[in-house]
Amino acid sequence: MRVGMGFDIHRLAENRPLILGGIRVPHPKGLLGHSDADVVLHALCDALLGAVGEGDIGLHFPDSDPRWKGAQSRDFIEKALEFVRRRNLKLANADLVLLAEAPKLSGHRQAIQRSVAEILSVKPDRVNVKAKTMEGLGPIGSQEAVASYAVVLLE
């Protein structure tokens, strides 16, 4: 078995869609980034890469590379899953923590869970999504950013 963890944070900005776990969440602002800035899938990608000892997302998909401009983060996950398959491993489970003051994500939890499971090609019961606020503290609490943690177990 192999375990991996990931973290990511992106700044909220005007005129960007808010994409979390592969779905669009209605909100006046979205996350700034080179790709679709899906902070949930970026943390998950880093967890997968970490579990197979393949560095991190910046190593494989550098934002200096025009190939990844506007990329869909599900493509990053697909590449990470190739490393997983090459090692004859598969996902046992993924546990995700989303940190956002706004929008409130508790109502989107199940949709994000289903979307992430679909992207990982696993049943939804292998993916858990938690949504938390920062109680108004720090850059997330002041609605400047959204962050995500991910832990995966491969078997």
Residues of this chain that bind Mg ion (CB under 5 A)? 8, 42
Angle of helix 73-86 versus helix 109-120 axis, rounded to 10:
50
CB of 144 to Mg ion, least distance (A): 15
CB of 8 to Mg ion, least distance (A): 4
Three-class SS state of 96: strand
CB of 34 to Mg ion, least distance (A): 8
Nearer to Mg ion among residue 68 and residue 126 (C-beta): 68
CB 126 within 8 A of CB 91: yes
Nearer to Mg ion among residue 29 and residue 42 (C-beta): 42
Query: Pick from 99, 98, 94: which is nearest to 126 by CA?
Result: 94
Nearer to Mg ion among residue 27 and residue 42 (C-beta): 42
Provide long-range contacts, Cβ within 8 A and 24+ apart, for 138-143: 139/9, 140/9, 140/99, 140/100, 140/101, 141/101, 142/101, 143/12, 143/29, 143/101, 143/102
CB of 83 to Mg ion, least distance (A): 18
Nearer to Mg ion among residue 39 and residue 52 (C-beta): 39
| Closest residue to Mg ion using C-beta atoms | 42
